[in-house]
Each structure stands twice: as structure tokens, then as C-alpha cells.
Structure 1
Amino acid sequence: MTADLLTQVILPLALFLIMFGMGLSLRPADFKNVLASPKAMGIGLIGQMLLLPLVAFFIALAFKLPPEIAVGLMIIALAPGGATSNMFTYLSKGDVSLSISLTAVVSLIAPFSIPIITALSMTYFMGNATEFSLPIVKTIIQLLVITVIPVALGMLVLARWSQIAAKIEHVLKWFSVVFLFFIIALIVLKNADNMMNFFMQAGLATLVLNIAVLILGVYLAKWAKLSEAQSTSIGFEVGIQNGTLALVVAGTLIGNSTMMIPAVTYSLLMFITGAAFAMLVTRRKGRTA
């Protein structure tokens, strides 16, 4: 994988549009869910912000991943959910409001958490003898520009021109899913000779991580005695990540193409595991009904 027009221009611009689309679906009232459902929000945040990175860290150690692949695994684990997690929640009749609120809150935290934990991960796995670095303050500012600012702009457009916002948001919601497929397809085609090697390096680790955190999210919510719909939402929020953001952090902000590999394999696998999980949830609800 090489850093080029894709990582330097297309990915950041697409992420800006995706986050703008998220903002078009958010109203200030949506953030009141944090106060209206503090228990569900708290469990979701613990699952995504604490347990998910911890599981990724121990998987990286258990699989003895190469340093750059290990850091890439941490990056995808630090990414928030996105339109994909919201879509799977909707299809599975989960708590969509909770899903959107969790995605929004974690997306606001991510510009601060990703640079700090990624920098610590690079130091732990790669040591100081590396040409790659991640200036924390600069990276926070860059992530704020391409994530939080477009969300705020989207919310402003929704507040002033709601009908136009609804039309644009519908297009950008599907764009976020289709674009991730498109980008992964481009990367796969461009690196067709190396894809088998990529999956050998990171495929099993990302698959184990994805399945483990999907299950962990659901059972963490059940342990907290949350509803079936809330448990479904938290499962998807913890298990389905914003692959585009992870690709931007690894490929654009750090400039390390090897760190992009876990984001690619995870993003491919999460659609399969997410769809399978959605089918299981839907069938179980059907039998219960």
C-alpha cells in the first residue's frame, strides 16, 4: 500500500462529507438521550471507549502481531461507530436513537482519544526507533477539522433548512456505506497481489476482534439489565467501526500504509459478521414474538 491521492485527498474529503451527513441527522435534542438514558449511554461508552481497545490490545499481544499491524488494530478499535452501525441497528429493530446518540458522542470524543492512545500504542509496539510519529496536538486539530466541524455544520444546516437537509442526509447516509465499499475495493484491486498476505497478517486478528466485541457489547448490556433493543444497539456500536476514519488516521495523518491493513480487513469482515448478527437477532425476535 502506498500513500497517494487516495489517502491524501480523497479519504479526508470523503470523511468530511460523511461526518457532515451525520450532522444533518442530528438535533440538539438527540444529545439529551445522554441524560435521558444515562445507564444505556454509560454502558455503551464503557464498551466502546474502554473494553474495545483493551480487547484489541490483548489480541495484538496474543497473536504476536507485527508492530505496525498491532498499531493499526488499535486504530480501528479506537474509531467510533458510524452510519453502518446505525443502519444495522435499524435493520435489527434495535434502539436507533441510542445508536445515533452513541455514535455522535463517541465521534466528539474520538478526536482527542485517538491521537493520545494511538501515540501510546506506537510507543509500546514500535518503540522510539521509528520514522513515523503522531504529533498529538496537531492530530487533534486535524481530526476536529474533518470530524467535529462538519458535524456542527450539518446540524446548522438541519436547523435552518430542514427539508433540504433531509434530502442531502439520505444521499450521504448511503454514500458513507457505498464509499467504504468503494475505497476497500480500490485498495483490494490496487494491492491484489498482496491481499492474501494482508489477510494472513491481520485477517484472523480482526475477525476475532470483531466477533468478540459484538458479543461483548450485547452481553455487557444484558448484564446491566438493559432492554433487548438497547443491547442490540450497543452490540453494533461496539462491533461496527468507522473504517473510513481509521483509514484516514493510519494512511493520511500517520502516513503508514501498513497500519491501514487492519482497517481494510476489519471493514470487509464487519459487513459479513454484522449481517449475520442482524439475521440472528431478527430471527430470535421473530421466534419470541
Structure 2
Amino acid sequence: MQSNVLTAVLIPLSLAVIMLGLGLSLTLEDFKRVIQFPRPVLLGLVIQMLVLPLVCALIAHAFELRPELAVGLMLLAASPGGATANLFSHLARGDVALNITLTAVNSALTIVSLPLIVNLSMMHFMGEGRAVPMQFDKMVQVMAIVLVPVSLGMVVRSRKPTIALRLDKPIRVLSAAFLALIVAAAVYKERQEMGSYFQQVGLAALAFNLASLAFGYLAPLLFRLPRRQAIAIGMEIGIHNGILAMTIAMSPLLLNNATMAIPPAIYSIIMYFTAAAFGYAVSRLQAPEPDAADATPSRT
């Protein structure tokens, strides 16, 4: 895609708006809960940072994805959850406080983990010379687009909570509009290959989505965490921030590759249906728990 108003201005702007909206929803208490209740948070992070990229790479190989599509799917694995995961967790009677904490920590770690995973993916699937160099100016750009808006949002939330509350809905609407624009741009750019892309990556995206939900839900149960926390981790792991992945893929400051945005676009459509079915199923299985368990994550 040639550099124009969309790629040079709107896509970086959309990423900044998304990160600002995320910052408006976070507080320092979300990070402090990591120290207070480390076990579920650490388990969720291990699945997100280590298990999920490995599972995603195996799926990409199993479906014999083209290199750029494989990297696009890996970009999803490196992206954190977000407000959508919190909403689905709430509807499924999960531990939303745990969701918020995982989102906060994941988002903070993304500035390091996401470039690392994407670079390793590009070297693995596209050849050693295709990695994006971790140059200082590139890191400054990522910090400017990602870290600064999140920090600004947290400052507003801390000092002016009323303003943060008023900004929440408009920014969510604006983020949704940017999502539609980015999806449309990606589809338009690759319109001649879209049918082929759906055939190539549709089943792989579905397999990765189902694997994410399954690992996120079953692993906490194996470690004897409460079912509410298993639901929360399952939603956080299974619902990735597709718009973040697409924005990074298409941004001229970062990957500048519309093909890599196709897997996140397809995944973003699939995950709403699978997450709804998953939430309905686990909420039916869940037995009522004591009120005390509803208030905070387990200290174990």
C-alpha cells in the first residue's frame, strides 16, 4: 500500500486513540493486584507470552500458510486482550478484575514482547533478512504511538476520573469506526486475493481461536484455580486485540503490509461468535461460588 493519508496519518492516529482509550480504563490498582494475587496473573501471562505463540506457529505450519499470512497470525498471538474480553468475561460470570489486571500487565509488556515475537516470526517464516531491525528510532516510534497515549489516559483517569468517564464512550465509538476503516482498507487493498485468503487462513484463524480459548480455560482448571478465574483467563487469551494487530500490520511506521492484516481481520469476525458460544457454555457449567470469591481473585 502506498503511503497516503490513510497509512501515514489515520492508521497511526487510530492506534494512538485505541491506546488512549485503554489508558482511560486502567489504574495503578490494576498493576498492584499482580503483587497481591500473583498466581492467576502469572499463569495467564505464561499462556499469553509463551504457550500461545508456540501454538500459533504450529497451527500456521499445520495449515501451510503463506509466510506473510503466518506472520499476520503470529501478530495476533502477540497482541493483548482488551475491553471486549472484559465484556465477554462479565457476561459469562468470569472474574472481570482479573481480566482488567491481565489487560493492564499485557499492555505494558507489549512494547517489548510484541516486536520480539513479530521479529522472530518474520525470521522463521520469511527468512532471516526480513526481520524489522530493533533500531532506536523504531523503538521511539513504538513508544510514542503506544506507551505515551496509554500513560496519558492513565493520568487523566487518575486525576480527572469524571472526564475519563465522559471520554470512554466517544473513544470506544471512534475506535470502532477506525476498526471498520482499517478492515475496509485491508480488504480493498487485497480485494483480488480475498477469496483465496479466506480459503487459506479462515480455518487456521478458527483453529487458533478455539485453541486460545481452550488453553486459556483448561490450564487454570488444571492448576486448581476457581472456575471464575478460568473463564476470565480464557476470555483474555481467546479474544485478541485485532484492531491493534491490523494497525501495526498496515502502519507505514511499523510493518506496512496489508496482507499481514488479513488474519487479524478474519479472526476479529470469528472470535465474536466463538466467544459468545464459549461464554454461554461455561456459564451453564459454572456452579454458584461464595460472595467472597466474587470480590477478589484467589490468594493461592
Q: Please report the TM-score for the alignment, with normalisation by the length of structure 1.
A: 0.91
Please report how far the alpha carbon of residue 242 of structure 1 lies from its aligned counterpart in structure 2 after TM superposition.
0.9
Please report how far the alpha carbon of residue 139 of structure 1 lies from its aligned counterpart in structure 2 after TM superposition.
3.6
Inter-partner Cα distance in structure 1 for 2:67 and 2:83: 30
Per the alignment, do residues 110 and 274 of structure 1 end up closer, same or farther by CA in structure 2, a change over 3 Å counting? Answer: same
Per-residue CA distance 1:258-286 (angstroms, 9 max, x = gap): 1111111111111121122122233334x
Inter-partner Cα distance in structure 1 for 2:201 and 2:118: 18
Per-residue CA distance 1:158-189 (angstroms, 9 max, x = gap): 12211111111233245445543453245446
Q: Which residue of 2 aligns with 1:8?
A: 8
Percent of aligned positions with the same letter in both sequences?
Answer: 44
Please report how far the alpha carbon of residue 3 of structure 1 lies from its aligned counterpart in structure 2 after TM superposition.
6.1
Correspondence list, 1:194-233, <5 A: 194-233=193-232
Please report how far the alpha carbon of residue 27 of structure 1 lies from its aligned counterpart in structure 2 after TM superposition.
1.5
Q: Which residue of 1 aligns with 2:88?
A: 88
Inter-partner Cα distance in structure 2 for 1:182 and 1:248: 10
Q: Which residue of 2 aligns with 1:78?
A: 78
Q: Which runs of 5+ in 1 are unaligned?
A: none
| More deviation, 35-44/255-264 | 255-264
AA of the residue aligned to 1:20:
L
SS state of the match for residue 200, structure 1? helix
Q: Which residue of 2 aligns with 1:156?
A: 155
Preserved CA contact (<8 Å) 1:22 1:173? no
Please report how far the alpha carbon of residue 24 of structure 1 lies from its aligned counterpart in structure 2 after TM superposition.
1.3
SS state of the match for residue 72, structure 2? helix
| More deviation, 249-258/234-243 | 249-258
Whether 1:180 and 2:179 are equivalent positions in the alignment is yes
Once superposed, what is the RMSD of the aligned Cα atoms? 2.1
Q: Which residue of 1 aligns with 2:65?
A: 65
Correspondence list, 1:1-289, <5 A: 4-128=4-128, 130=130, 133-137=131-135, 138-177=137-176, 179-188=178-187, 191-252=190-251, 253-285=254-286, 288=287
Preserved CA contact (<8 Å) 1:184 1:268? no
Inter-partner Cα distance in structure 1 for 2:84 and 2:74: 20
Preserved CA contact (<8 Å) 1:3 1:251? no
Please report how far the alpha carbon of residue 208 of structure 1 lies from its aligned counterpart in structure 2 after TM superposition.
0.2
Please report how far the alpha carbon of residue 201 of structure 1 lies from its aligned counterpart in structure 2 after TM superposition.
1.9
SS state of the match for residue 134, structure 1? coil
AA of the residue aligned to 1:17:
V
Per-residue CA distance 1:99-143 (angstroms, 9 max, x = gap): 11111111111111111221121111111465xx41223443322
AA of the residue aligned to 1:144:
M
Please report how far the alpha carbon of residue 157 of structure 1 lies from its aligned counterpart in structure 2 after TM superposition.
0.9
Inter-partner Cα distance in structure 2 for 1:278 and 1:139: 39
Q: Please report the TM-score for the alignment, with normalisation by the length of structure 2.
A: 0.87
| More deviation, 232-241/256-265 | 256-265
Inter-partner Cα distance in structure 1 for 2:90 and 2:3: 35
